[in-house]
Amino acid sequence: MLLENKTAIIYGAGGAIGGAVARTFAREGAKVFLSGRTLSKVERVAREIVAAGGTAQAFQVDAMEERAVESHVAVVVEQTGRLDVSFNAITAVPQPGTQGIPIAQLSVDSFTAPITTYMRSHFLTARAAARRMAEQGSGVLLMHTPEPARLGAALVGGMGPAWAAMEAFNRNLSAEFGPKGVRAICVRSSGMPETETIDVVFGLHANAMGIPREQFQGFIESLTHRKRSTKVSEVAEMAAFLASDRGSGMTGTVANLTGGLIVD
């Protein structure tokens, strides 16, 4: 198993991506500590993992709150003695009012909300984890972005700048903590319509363009070499590999799962 004897925290574990990553990590042998703002969603994922023979605990943690994040990481380290992987998969920004609107028509708050929200959360979770990982001399920090982090796209408002900032932050983390044995990697995908968030986003963009949602999705997928979107399972499998010792050669970079839509 790729992650045997590893301890991992997954933020946003009640969502599609966080839940898939949590299940995959557990299947690969990790002890997973799941967190999210809605405890019932996180507990459901934890029950599924335990029923499948894995080890999981669920916690209600707001990844935007400094004390909550720090306290949760302290509890995990106290229980297990270490922290090997931290994956932040939050989707905290409501997309209506954020995407599908021309930049010239966005309010300042609507534009800056994704930037401040995602950067605050990723800073808090990465800082809390990196402190412990640096002390033990090893660890992996993971995050996820979609293609507008690199590819210019219309009607995404502040989301594109927010995702680009996350990737820049990932590189900074690697530069600063790499000498202490901590790796930082971003998994970049295309939009995944099997998730509730992207289903909403595709609808917003389709409405703004005056076309059916299915047509918009088809257009986006036609730009990829595989003519399809990234699958949630592909993100989860890549995250497990990167978190494992087999991915030890990768840090300060992006694992590109956009199917040829973007070439780094």
Query: Where are the domains positioned within the chain?
Result: 7-190+231-257
For the whole prediction, is pTM greater than 0.85? yes
Please name which of 3, 160, 139, 9 lies closest in space to residue 70, comparing C-alpha atoms. Answer: 9
Class for domain 7-190+231-257, per CATH? alpha beta
What percentage of the chain has pLDDT greater than the value 70?
100
- Looking at residue 80, its pLDDT comes to 97
Cα distance between residue 248 and residue 185, in whole Å: 11
Length of the chain: 264
Cα distance between residue 108 and residue 240, in whole Å: 38
- Judged against a pLDDT cut of 90, whether residue 37 lies above it is answered with yes
- Looking at residue 53, its pLDDT comes to 97
Neighbours of 117 (CB within 10 A): 18
* Mean pLDDT over the full length of the chain: 95
Q: Band of the pLDDT at 65, cuts 50, 70, 90?
A: very high
- In whole angstroms, how far apart are CA 4 and each of 1, 26, 28, 130? 6, 9, 6, 21
Instruction: Please write down the HEC assignment for all residues of the chain.
Output: CCCCCCEEEEECCCCHHHHHHHHHHHHCCCEEEEEECCHHHHHHHHHHHHHCCCEEEEEECCCCCHHHHHHHHHHHHHHHCCCCEEEECCCCCCCECCECCCHHHCCHHHHHHHHHHHHHHHHHHHHHHHHHHHHHCCEEEEEEEEHHHCCCCCCCCCHHHHHHHHHHHHHHHHHHHHHHCEEEEEEEECCCCCCHHHHHHHHHHHHHHCCCHHHHHHHHHHCCCCCCCCCHHHHHHHHHHHHCHHHCCCCCEEEEECCCCCCC
What are the residues facing 157 on neighbouring strands? none
- Judged against a pLDDT cut of 80, whether residue 264 lies above it is answered with no
CB 73 within 8 A of CB 128: yes
Please name which of 106, 128, 99 lies closest in space to residue 205, comparing C-alpha atoms. Answer: 99
Average pLDDT value for residue range 57-76: 97
Sign of the four-CA dihedral 244, 249, 252, 253? negative
Ramachandran angles phi, psi of 229, nearest 5°: -80, 160
Per the structure block, which two tokens stand in for 142?
Answer: 């993971």
- Looking at residue 97, its pLDDT comes to 84
- Judged against a pLDDT cut of 80, whether residue 92 lies above it is answered with no
- Looking at residue 152, its pLDDT comes to 87
Q: Which of 11-25, 62-76, 186-200, 237-251 has the lowest mean pLDDT?
A: 186-200
Sheet holding 31-36, edge to edge: 55-60, 31-36, 7-11, 85-88, 139-146, 182-189, 253-257
Average pLDDT value for residue range 30-46: 97
Average pLDDT value for residue range 147-157: 90
